[in-house]
Amino acid sequence: MNFNLIPILDCDIKQYKADFQEAFQKGFEQQFGETDQTILPERDIDQSLNVKGSAAYKAVVDGEMVGGAIVVIDEKTQHNHLDFLFVKHGTQSKGIGKAIWFEIEKLYPKTQVWETCTPYFERRNIHFYVNVCGFHIVEFFNEKHPMPNTLDDFVGDGNEGMFEFQKQM
């Protein structure tokens, strides 16, 4: 596999967002069935892309964009956040997610703590973060313990809750 993780360019944004949204949509629909709701609204991607310290990358295999990630880097604390990681629908289970993550770790060697989250229903993601990438579950957000700053129209967890993960470096 000829893999590269490179910063996205302005000309990539439209396809990048579409691939991101499709990956999240298909993951949700595999669990809950088809829905008219948008699981990852464009505003969520835009918010992540525009926050201070944000860096966005595309994963390219043999010249084709096959995934990507958005991280938020705090240069002062080095407590950094993986906002999103996706593998393009139809290209999963080929080591692309693993390659993305470990390349991100190499890009930010000063990181002391990485943090991310994923929905409870996404067992593949939970396996990926815990067993492949070395994260630990540190919190479970649910109706009795809501995730801070969650929008009222958030549906991405299928009303089943979200796990928060951390990885001490």
The CA distance from 75 to 108, in Å, is: 10
The CA distance from 96 to 28, in Å, is: 20
39 pLDDT higher than 90: no
- pTM summary value: 0.89
Note the pLDDT of residue 10: 94
What does the pLDDT look like over 64-113, one tens digit per residue? 999 999 999 999 999 999 999 999 988 887 899 999 999 999 999 999 99
3-class DSSP state of 19: helix
Instruction: Name the residue ranges covered by the structural domains of the chain.
Output: 3-168
Cβ(136)–Cβ(90) below 8 Å: no
122 pLDDT higher than 90: no
3-class DSSP state of 6: strand
Fold category of 3-168 in CATH: Aminopeptidase (3.40.630)
Note the pLDDT of residue 155: 47
What does the pLDDT look like over 127-147, one tens digit per residue? 999 999 999 999 887 777 676
